Amino acid sequence: MGDDFLEAGIDFERANAARVYDYILGGSHNFEVDREQAARTMAAYPDIARSAQANRAFLGSVVRWCLARGVDQFLDLGSGVPTVGNVHEIAHGIDPGARIAYVDFEPVAVAHAREITADLGPVTVTRADVRDPESVFADPGVAGLLDLARPVGVLMVAVLHFVADDAAGLVGRYRDALAPGSVIAMSHNSDDQDDPALAAALRGVGEAMRGSATELTLRTRPELAAFFTGLDLVPPGLVDVVDWPVPGSAPPVGVYGAAGIVPG
């Protein structure tokens, strides 16, 4: 990585989930500490690469579903290091005018995202803490691009399990800022599984992430369902991401996903 990535705020001593995820998906914007963390995580859950790919496929399905409903602007929270299948690639393949505001706090993710989206028109990259919705919405990269008087697709994909406190309340703060017809979609790791082996693997991932810059909080299915309070849950509801939007035959990966519409 060049000097542009060596921005103040990078923690070189502790792994970060955005960079670990980048490594698992085959990216190159990660450090040795992230690769070591990925090795520990994969030891706890050998199928985690399929989980990451299924999560990325869920993101793509949500974006396409939103565009089919006429939602053409997106707020991608905890967007991570850009890899193949990102929101702007999917959305602009369908609607070149779609607006995408990426938000992340990890400096490597933000620097690389700005580099690859510099000439893409209606795309911005903001460094902000997703736990502070008011600051996110006030940032010029978001406020100057997204029209909150129209529906927005808010993507909370593989981010809320890194929020240790009141994640349901956080979702509610985003919901309250959105116009009717907006969509909130999330995916979240959980050890609340019917398969004991899969449950144990997810708990192993949580243990493996302890001591990193982004520790994992596992939540139950009822806790995740509470994220959609005040929203109209989209069928098939809260399901493993391999079964959204249409249940199939793929084995579950231990990541629940769902989307809800702001009523009105």
Residues contacting residue 156 through CB under 8 Å, at least 6 positions apart: 77, 78, 130, 171, 174, 184, 185, 186, 187
* Residue range 11-64, pLDDT digits in tens: 667 777 777 777 877 777 778 888 888 888 888 899 988 998 999 999 999 999
Identify the pLDDT of residue 150: 98
* Residue range 209-255, pLDDT digits in tens: 888 767 899 999 999 999 999 999 999 999 999 999 999 999 999 99
Q: Both ends of the chain: CA-CA distance in Å? A: 47
Average pLDDT, the chain: 90
**In the chain, where are the structural domains located?**
51-195+218-261
Region of residue 83 (left: phi > 0; alpha: psi -120 to 50; beta: else) = beta
CATH number of the domain at 51-195+218-261, please?
3.40.50.150
* Distances 93 to 64, 65, 67, 77, 122 between C-alpha atoms, Å: 10, 13, 11, 21, 13
* Residue range 178-213, pLDDT digits in tens: 999 999 999 999 999 999 999 999 999 999 888 876
**This prediction's pTM:** 0.89
User: Is residue 10 predicted with pLDDT exceeding 90?
Assistant: no
Q: What does residue 86 show for φ and ψ, rounded to 5 degrees?
A: -75, 170
Q: Please, which pLDDT band fits residue 9 given cuts at 50, 70 and 90? A: low
Q: What is the DSSP letter of 4?
A: G
* Distances 178 to 111, 156, 174, 230 between C-alpha atoms, Å: 28, 14, 7, 12
Nearest residue to 16 (alpha-carbon basis) of 43, 50, 41 = 41
Helix (H, G, I), strand (E, B) or coil at 248: coil
- Rounded distance between C-alpha atoms, residue 120 and residue 199, angstroms: 41
